[in-house]
Structure 1
Amino acid sequence: MIQVNGVPPKIESAANSKFLRLVPHHYESKRLCEPFRNYALLPPNFMPYTQTSFDANSFVDRTRSAFDWLGSVIVTHLISNYFMNRALSSVLPDFSFAEFNRISSYSFTDMPESLYYPAARTNDFFSYGSYCTPKKHLPNDVEKFVSDPSSRGTIVVAFGTLVPWHLSPPEKLEAFVQAFNNFSEYRIIWSYKGLPIKTARHVIVSKWIPQNDLLLHEKTVLFISHGGLKSVKEAACSGTPALFMPMFAEQMRNAWLAKNKGFAEILNKFHLTPQYLEEKIRDILDKTDHKLKGEALKERFLDQPMSALDQAAFIVNRLIKYGGRMPSFFYTRSLELNYLTTLNLDIIIIIPVLVLSIVM
């Protein structure tokens, strides 16, 4: 599609951070410059991955976030680089995530900007995630089920394709079944692949559900999910209150951001009991705060001078015009610096040492 120095690049994906980076197919390994989660593009203390709450004014929270970031750097450079080098040695010798970051023409993320706090960004970082999938008509049987006049609303339950219900502890699965069976005044549609379970008549269990269309339905009042990026975005696009139970990867970060915006709450999977789950569900259903904040977020989500996808297309077309890479002045100078210099550690360490040496 684009050529850099005569070599066609490709779009690389980093699954954990939902990034797409435009880089050449081959490069010479140089020096260690940037971490996998590129500090030069997005300061990590604004984006904790594992904390259920975070305050940028809290020294403890910033310290925990810094250690989380440092841990990801160590794991990436020592472990991931080792296995990537073994896997790619025949086609891409001396692979380095640091060099991968340094020579990337652009970094794209599908995480919507409107979910974040304001934070520093560089020119070569763009979020195209603030877009919504249009609503489609529900299948007739599903429409009839959710439109039951005796129902107070629909609860949609979906934990993605990577959560194996058949491997879940029996007591955890039973907690969901018992809790859902107690909501006879609602209609519940549960995307479930696992062992047979006994549910009440107001609960439909299916291997696949039209999740986006259900969330956009006027009768839907709650979404229970794992907090994957797709689920968080669809909840935001529909303004639906959500209850997220993070399982792995970046889902804790997603759930925390949604809770911080006021339209979601977080379930602790280690504390899961029928009573705990029912209490959490009723707490959201009995209040209007989450719905109002969800609707407000939906308006901000789509309030843009141009659509995020159109803007992303413009950026890619501009890259094509410049031959696959913007002029050098477009990129931050920190990409050419080492860790000590980028983090100002050389100043923080050397100047006090010089002062002490003069005084002593």
Structure 2
Amino acid sequence: MAYPFAQGVPLILVSTRGLDSRVSAVLGNVHHPAYVPNFLTDYPFPMSLLDRLRNLFYHLYIPWYWGTWSSVRNVQEEVSRHLPDIPPLLDIERNISLYLVNQNTVSGTGVPYLPSEVDVGGLHCVPGRPLPKTLDSWLKPAGASGVIYFSLGTVARGINMPTKHRDLMVKAFAALPQYRFIWKFESTLVGVSDNVLVDKYLPQQDILADSRVKLFITHRGCLSKQEAIYHATPLLVLPVFGDQPRNAMEVVKRGLGLSLRWDEVTVDLLVNSIQELINNPRYARNVRKALELARDQLQSPLERAVFWTEYVVRHGGAPQLKSPAAQLSWVEFLMLDVLAFALLLALILCLALRRSMRAAVAMLKRVEWKTKTD
């Protein structure tokens, strides 16, 4: 983050996991916790009082923890050691000219966007290419039953899966001999059935684009979800950490697939879930609808990202896109000083009214006493 600031060129931020409320707040677009969920979890709408309290807590806690104890603190120490004259990273962050958000408005909560916040969800999605010959020939015997693809991505790697869960997957796949499974796994797996192909490097989008693939078993990272929608493949989600549980809730809410918790998974539950997702047409129908909504745009995500990037460069960082709210303190933004002034004024008026009433009462008593004495 320090280099662009030091060179005096525009700073563009790309978010791979979607719209981040913390970054939006830095840019002056504070999300209302009454209806915008935090990135860790989702809530039924309208939110209950307890849900709003939880959501407010996370909206406040996550930025504080991130800026005080987590990433920023460690990075700041390292940057300051090598570049002592560079301003604090959180100050540099306020100089962001453009925020490219890996989210499509149809798949997120409808929230206000600043001109400097641009959706580019699905930017990385591309049409599938023909599969490698060895993989294509292995899939041919699948016939009408189809193929199921299983991958936990590049962060929550399959090799880190507990042995108990690994064995459970092996047994569940063996119990469904009518399907062919492609399993992305970073090592050799022992005991897999003949209907399972294991490989450490697989062309995921090309696989999902193949018409023989009926289901994607995934951790439901943001990129994997977008690829599944782009290639119209229903999802069976096994979230691991971070924003994945919330992403899984979205899949279930929109009818794009099912979600299972690792601590509740059994062979029977996994087999039944796979069969439900493949045999019930509503999931494939909902994914196709989601694809239709995602593609119904004036520009492609790539065209939008290119245009706004070049726009920011052409106009010297495009300060006209930035919100003045980014320069306000929390006291000014929430108008706490105005509220304090209004309360003080109300207090003064109340005290003045009280004093006037006491004076009026005292005057009435004097008049009454004088009348009695006369």
Please state how far the C-alpha of 1:56 moved relative to its aligned partner. 4.2
Deviates more, 1:80-89 or 1:334-343: 334-343
Distance 1:195 1:204, change over 3 A: closer
Which residue does the alignment assign to 1:8? 9
Cα distance in structure 2, aligned partners of 1:114 and 1:253: 16
What is the match of residue 39 of structure 2?
49
Corresponding residue to 2:269 among 264, 276, 293: 276
- Distance, in Å, in 2 between the alignment partners of 1:282 and 1:88 is 52
Q: How far does residue 168 in structure 1 lie from its aligned partner after superposition?
A: 2.5
Q: What's the counterpart of residue 38 of structure 1?
A: 25
SS in 2 for 1:82: helix
TM-score in terms of structure 1 length: 0.84
Q: Structure 1 counterpart of 2:146, which letter?
A: G
1:256 aligned to which of 249, 259, 266: 249
Unaligned runs of 5+ in 2: 352-374
Please state if 1:78 is matched with 2:68: yes
**Contact 1:192–1:205 at 8 Å: present in 2 too?**
yes
Partner of 1:27 in structure 2? none
Where does residue 60 of structure 1 map in the other structure?
Answer: 50
Q: Distance in 2 between matches of 1:198 and 1:6?
A: 56
1:286 — aligned with what? 279
* Paired positions, count: 343
Partner of 1:121: 113
Give the letter for the 1:122 counterpart: L
Alignment of 1:117-266 (within 5 A): 117-131=109-123, 132-148=125-141, 150-194=143-187, 196-266=189-259
Query: Over residues 148-194 of structure 1, what are the superposed CA-to-partner deviations in whole Å (9 max), with x where a residue is unaligned?
Result: 26441111101112224333221111111111111111111110124
Question: Gaps (5+ residues) in structure 1?
Answer: 20-33
2:151/2:158 contact within 8 Å kept: no
Could you tell me whether the CA contact under 8 Å between 1:151 and 1:186 is conserved in 2? no
Aligned to 1:23: none
Q: Which moved more, 1:93-102 or 1:274-283?
A: 93-102
Inter-CA distance 191–232: structure 2 relative to 1 (3 Å threshold): same
2:98 to 106, 110, 113: 106
Q: Could you say if the C-alpha distance between residues 251 and 346 of structure 1 is closer, same or farther in structure 2, counting changes exceeding 3 Å?
A: farther
Three-state SS of the structure 2 residue aligned to 1:142 is helix
- Aligned mate of 2:310, from 317, 322, 336: 317
Tell me how large the CA RMSD over aligned residues is: 2.9
Q: Cα distance 1:354–1:298, how it changes in 2: closer, same or farther (>3 A)?
A: same
Q: In the aligned structure 2, how far is the partner of 1:155 from the partner of 1:252?
A: 22
Distance 1:94 1:71, change over 3 A: farther
Question: Which of 309, 324, 328 is equivalent to 1:337?
Answer: 328
CA shift at 1:319, angstroms? 1.4
Larger CA deviation: 109-118 vs 234-243: 109-118
Identity %: 21
Q: How much has 1:359 moved relative to structure 2?
A: 4.1
Change (3 A) 1:340 1:62: farther
Give the superposition deviation at 1:87: 0.7
- The residue type paired with residue 8 of structure 1 is V
Counterparts of 1:175 and 1:250, CA distance in 2: 25
SS at match of 1:282: helix
The range that moved more, 115-124 or 270-279, is 270-279
Q: Is the 8 A contact 2:11 2:317 kept in 1?
A: no
The 3 A distance-change label for structure 1 pair 163 and 77 is closer
Provide the rounded CA distance (Å) in 2 between the counterparts of 1:310 and 1:114. Answer: 18
Query: Tell me, what secondary structure is at the counterpart of 2:96?
Result: coil
**Judging changes above 3 Å, is the alpha-carbon distance between structure 1 residues 139 and 340 closer, same or farther for their aligned structure 2 residues?**
same
Once the two structures are TM-superposed, the CA of residue 75 in structure 1 deviates from its matched residue by 1.0
Change (3 A) 1:11 1:106: closer
